[in-house]
Amino acid sequence: MNTMEDQIHDCFVDAYRRVPNKSEIQTIAKILPVGIKSLAEEWGWDDTEVRDGLFGYIKKLKAEEVIK
């Protein structure tokens, strides 16, 4: 079973085409929307809906240049 950090890592790689550092993973974990965290608590971090929401959120961070 994947952890939150594992899923952030994988979604980050898919969005940015590079490996995130620990600080980037920690930053994303801290600012994740409650809705994504709630879904993950209910269904687990491996759930498709959770991963899709996380990936969309990370793509939004990239578009807004929150993390470069």
Report the pLDDT value the prediction gives residue 68, as an integer from 0 to 100: 87
Express each pLDDT in 29-46 by its tens digit: 999 999 999 999 999 999
Report the pLDDT value the prediction gives residue 59, as an integer from 0 to 100: 98
| DSSP reduced 3-state for 2 | coil
Question: Measuring CA to CA, which residue among 26, 15, 14, 23 is closest to residue 61?
Answer: 15
Alpha helices in 32-67 (DSSP H): 34-43, 48-63
Specify the long-range contacts of residues 59-66, CB closer than 8 Å, at least 24 apart: 59/15, 61/28, 62/15, 62/16
- Domain limits, the chain: 4-63
